[in-house]
Amino acid sequence: MKQLITIIGPTAIGKTALSIHIANHFNCEIVSCDSRQFFKETTIGTAVPSTAELAAAPHHFIQNRSIFEPYTVGDFEKEAIATIDRLFLTNDYVVLVGGSGLYVNAVLKGFDEFPEIDPAIRENITASYEKLGIIYLQEQLQKLDPDYFKTLLTENAQTLQNPQRMMRFVEVCLGAGKPYSSFLNQKQNTRNFTPILIGLEANRSILYNRINERVNIMMNEGLLQEAKTVYPNKELNALQTVGYRELFNYFDGETALEFAIEEIKKNTRRFAKRQLTWFKRDQNTKWFDFETPYQTIFDYIKLKNA
């Protein structure tokens, strides 16, 4: 039986360390589904595994793209499944790890099929967006698919700031005459593996302290300079994320540096809360305290495979 050991949980909880220990224990490889870590130009602010961590176990989908390359969750699904299937040819285990719920779902469940949409509809939506901005798209989605808008607001608010994704949602609603969400979860995708879902969690105050400390470490490691390097391209979708947006505001003269750093901490804490809300929906996940001994988790995996 092929087992995809899937490690999920909020940012800064210790998923990377656990995934490496599991990979070493079961002599297998790691597939990352952290959408923030795909890009070569953003290392510090996305908490890419260190050189030592990357050397400790084979990793896939870490800094394999440039921020200048379009890369969708659909692209990732196809590439990740092909990689996982190849790894299963020589091993019964593969580790999937990451905090991007949408990308985890893409691997475990696949994507849904949508109807063809008249290109003229997209052209009209694009023209309206260029004239009225992202608020136009948000208002349209809230009107046309209020349930999905609420879901995004609660669990994946970053998507509401992504014009390409938002235009897609609105064009489906208008072109099909039905809510975008009505097309979700219709198709059962076949997978050649059984997932073992393992979640890491901690008391909220502990998690928030870990997040605050991680941000301090990032700043000490050079996040400010990294953000300055990519600042000329701040409009790219890959850079519309916590840790960079706040520093871009500082570079724009809108905030002080100390305020920007505190905003990174606050927004990362909010991001972690949304991650937990997303992941807690799946009743098949076995949750462990982040300080649980690794052997306990190894034993659980072996039990699931018995």
Which residue positions form the known binding site for ATP?
A: 9-16
Look-up of token digits 């994704």: 165
Instruction: Name the binding residues for substrate.
Output: 11-16
One-character DSSP codes across 88-131: TTT-SEEEEE-S-HHHHHHHHT-PPP-----HHHHHHHHHHHHH
One-character DSSP codes across 215-245: HHHHHHHTHHHHHHHHGGGTTSGGG-STTTH
Those residues with Cβ within 8 angstroms of residue 13's Cβ, 6 or more apart along the chain or in another chain: 200, 201, 202, 207, 210, 272, 290
Question: Token pair for residue 253?
Answer: 């003269």
Dist CA 212 CA 305 (whole Å): 37
- According to DSSP, residue 193 is labeled S
Instruction: Name the binding residues.
Output: 9-16
**Between vectors from CA 74 to CA 286 and to CA 230, what angle results, nearest 5°?**
95
Question: Are the C-beta atoms of 211 and 276 separated by less than 8 Å?
Answer: no
- Starting at the edge strand found earlier in the chain, the sheet holding 194-201 runs 59-60, 30-32, 93-97, 3-8, 194-201, 286-289
Question: Token pair for residue 148?
Answer: 């999905």
Dist CA 95 CA 33 (whole Å): 10
| 257-279 helix and 204-221 helix, angle to the nearest 10 degrees | 130
- Residues forming beta bridges with residue 7, ordered by sequence position: 97, 198
- According to DSSP, residue 191 is labeled -
CA 280, 283, 286, 288 torsion-angle sign? positive
Strand ranges for 235-302 from DSSP E: 286-289
